[in-house]
Amino acid sequence: MQPTENFSIPRRALDVEDFIDIVRRHKGWIFGPFLVTLVASVVGVYLWPDSYESVAVVKIVPQQVPQNMVQSSISNDLADRINSMATTVLSRNVLTTIINNFDLYKSERKRLPMEDVIDNLMRKSVKINPMMAGTGSHVVPAFTVQFSYPDRMLANKVVQDVVGRFIAENVSNRSTATTETTQFLKDQSEQAKKDLEALEDKLSHFRVQNNGRLPDQVDRNIQQMAGLQNRYQFLTGSKNRAEMEKLSLETNLRVEKGRKAELMRVAPQVAAVAATMKSDRMLEIEREIRNYEDALTVTRQRFTEAHPDVQTLKNRLEVAKQRKEQIQKEESENKTTTVAAVPPENRQLQMQVLDVDGNVQRLESASRAKDLEIADLDSQIKDVQTSINRLEGQINATPLGEQEYSDLLREREIAKQKYIELDSRLSTAEIAQDLENRGQGEKLELLDAASLPQTPTEPKRPMVIGIGAGLGLMLGVVIAAAREMKDTSLKNLKDVRAYTQMAILGSVPLLENDFVVRRRKRIAWLGWTTACLMAVVTMAGSVVYYYNYKV
């Protein structure tokens, strides 16, 4: 008989009967891990201390005054502000205070330092989660405060304390932020005002030192120069006309004086009568009238008819003329006899002498008025010439510090704009601070109070037991499959036919001692019964311990 070659034969496909046989052969390896993990899960989950979670919802109430009317000084994002407040509320010092106040984690504090208790237990138990509360159009921003602890009463108290600290921290933060913002803008505004005043003083000092030579005064000086030159020409022309008129008056005065002298030479008696015609009162009033006329002529050249001085002189002249008429009327009655005594042939000469004498007096008055007018024009011409010389000096002089003056103007404008902007921001910040002080700004309100948990949130016992039992069953199945893969013996007639390729005429069952078989079965049932009873007792004991000592 020749030796057969070693080669691997693929396993045949298994059917339902084969799987039933596998379970029957390896039932101990499948049920054993399942029972062990089940017991371990039940014992562990009931020895695991309960953890109760208290939850509170805090909503963020927006400010009562619309944002478009009063802009808030705090513009941070909601999540950023919640995180900032959470960082402060959940700081090491605050958590230490909470732990000491409520006497949390007694056993842990005995064997661990406070820093480890805070980092490993307290921080992990407190959770801050942003959320949106409400439905539809009534959704408001909010956040939840959660805390897990074995004592449900303490969990509730800790959540209340943390919520109170959040609300107080929000009020403190907003008040501090608005106050600091207002104070900062106030300091900046005062500094900007001082800078602006300093630049204004510097600019004013520069203008005083360089008055008339500043760049923005050149055009005005040129315009004033042109106006003064036109006035100078007008005054010069007026003076020339006045001098010509005076020459004409002097010429006429000489002619009239010559006529008067000729008439006086021809008719001396008429001259004597004419000399006695006017009394002292008449001469005085005529002198007064001439003075008023001369003064009125000069005043009219300087002022308009509506000027008070012109009106006053006109009134005085009118009064003087009325007095002259009164005096003439009185003297005419007294001189009737004298005039009647004059011969008729001399009356014509007398009237001519009187006319010539009146012309002489009128021309002398006009000449004196022209003298006053010429003197006034000379004074005005001198003043205009002085102003022209001064403006010529300013125009001809090179503008001093033009670049410095431009820099001062630009710096003054920048400082002014900065001050206006800061003052506007300060006003807005002060309104926002007043809004916060009145309690009408954004604030936190308790939407749902801290809950008092009735059932523990952890551990989830049914789920843990189910997962443990499932893992044990899977482990048993894996062990059974591994043992089945390792066992290459023929198990039944199907294996014999598949692997030997021989016809099976019959089969002889395995014959064993009945006593041995029964003994082995009794021992197996005893072992499994004992294991199950111990498992049940162990699981029942853990449940009893939990309900007697934990609840």
- 468-522 pLDDT per residue, tens: 888 888 888 888 888 877 876 666 666 666 666 666 666 666 656 677 767 877 8
Provide the pLDDT for residue 535. Answer: 83
Q: Scanning the structure block, which residue is given the tokens 């102003």?
A: 387
Give the least confident one: 7-16, 228-237, 245-254, 267-276: 267-276
The span from the CA of 111 to the CA of 117, in Å, is: 10
% of the chain at pLDDT higher than 90 = 1
Torsion sign, CA atoms 444, 448, 452, 453 = negative
3-state secondary structure of 3: coil
Estimate the share of the chain in helix, then strand, then coil, as percent rounded to the nearest 5.
75, 5, 20
Tell me the pTM: 0.50
Q: Is 209 left (phi over 0), alpha (psi -120 to 50) or beta?
A: alpha
What does the pLDDT look like over 405-430, one tens digit per residue? 677 778 888 888 888 888 888 888 77
DSSP 442: S
Domains of the chain, start order? 16-48+459-500+513-550 (no CATH), 52-190+434-448 (3.30.70.1130), 217-400 (1.10.287)
What does the pLDDT look like over 309-330, one tens digit per residue? 778 878 878 887 887 787 777 7
pLDDT at position 175 over 70: yes
Determine whether 298 is exposed, middle or buried from the number of CB atoms within 10 Å of its CB (0-12, 13-18, 19+).
middle
* Higher pLDDT, residue 41 or 501: 41
Start-to-end Cα distance in the chain: 79
The tokens for 107 are 């056993």
Count of beta carbons in the 10 Å neighbourhood of residue 453 = 19
- What are the helix (H) ranges across 267-307? 268-277, 280-302
Provide the pLDDT for residue 462. Answer: 82
- SS3 string of 228-253? HHHHHHHHHHHHHHHHHHHHHHHHHH
Provide the pLDDT for residue 6. Answer: 47
